[in-house]
Amino acid sequence: MSLSEVEDRSNVSEPIEDDSVTCPTTTPATSEREFLDMPEHVRYMQIYVEEVATWMDSFNKEKYFGEFLPYRALDSPLLLYSLLACGIRRLSQRHPDMSDTAAAYYSTANMQLFRYHENPERDIEECSTVAVILKLYNIIFKEGPQSGGHSPAVLNSIISESQWSAESDGIGSACFWLNAYLDIVGSLEAGYCLYVDSWSVDMRMPSDGSEFMTRGDEELWVQRMLFILGRVISYRLCVLSFTDVDLRENRTLENLLPEWKHLKQLCDQWNDACPRNMRPLGYMYPDQTEHNSTFPKTWYV
């Protein structure tokens, strides 16, 4: 089934009228520009790199989203406008008068992905990368089909075409882990289960505290944290879905206690063995803070 058959494009906002971003009906243009030469593009890309990509790269050591993709975008209008859309949307949070312009960039990025994905000779990895970026855009900026974007199901379908896994390398690894984070956020919001056991994460953590004060491999520890969080989310959903039918079939919450103990052990092992710079330098309990919150206040350097 083609993308056009599973998604109604009638709700797409008017895209940017710009000859430089016209989408071809065959293959994307390959003539690489030397640099961005439009002041607004430079500004939007700076915002993307400094305020959006910096945390997108929390999951990969090579910093692909902030240091690699902006250069790759110079010869890819498809990729360029997805990055610019993130930058101007972030900027519009401080300058609401730019919201219409942000919507136009977002619409253009989605329209280009729609057109490129229909091309049999498309670059599958590039389409999947843009789908991850737009999926992030939808989640952090609370956008979606109602704003002219692709539905989560369509974006996930495009992402799956690259068949990335935890064992992928390069941009594939970066996209896999960012997408894993986005799935966790989506699971928390929508209440669906995650199958994180297929992630194949190295969970061999030292038990003697030998790595406690070391730095390095922070990305691996973030990946382990995502894996544990995904397991906890699935466990929580299992507990919440417990019904009278389970009781009649002699299944009780007590049967879930071993899994709870295992998850608690994983959390403690992560906390005890992670690099020191990933633990807070300051920690205040709720009753020690000025804010009326049930959560503690932490300070990381």
Per residue in 71-91, pLDDT (tens digit) is 999 999 999 999 999 999 999
Q: Rounded distance, CA 72 to CA 64, Å?
A: 10
Q: For residue 32, what pLDDT band results from cuts at 50, 70 and 90? A: low
Q: Is the pLDDT of residue 101 over 70?
A: yes
Predicted model pTM? 0.81
CA angle, 226 as apex, 222 and 228 as ends, to 5°?
Answer: 115
Q: Are 109 and 82 in contact (CB under 8 A)?
A: yes
* Residue 28 confidence (pLDDT): 43
Per residue in 189-248, pLDDT (tens digit) is 888 888 888 888 888 887 655 555 566 688 899 999 999 999 999 999 888 877 666 666
Q: Are 220 and 61 in contact (CB under 8 A)?
A: no
Closest CA to 153 of 5, 7, 20: 7
Q: Is the pLDDT of residue 264 over 90?
A: yes
Q: Rounded distance, CA 20 to CA 108, Å?
A: 12
Quick one: tokens of 233? 């989310």
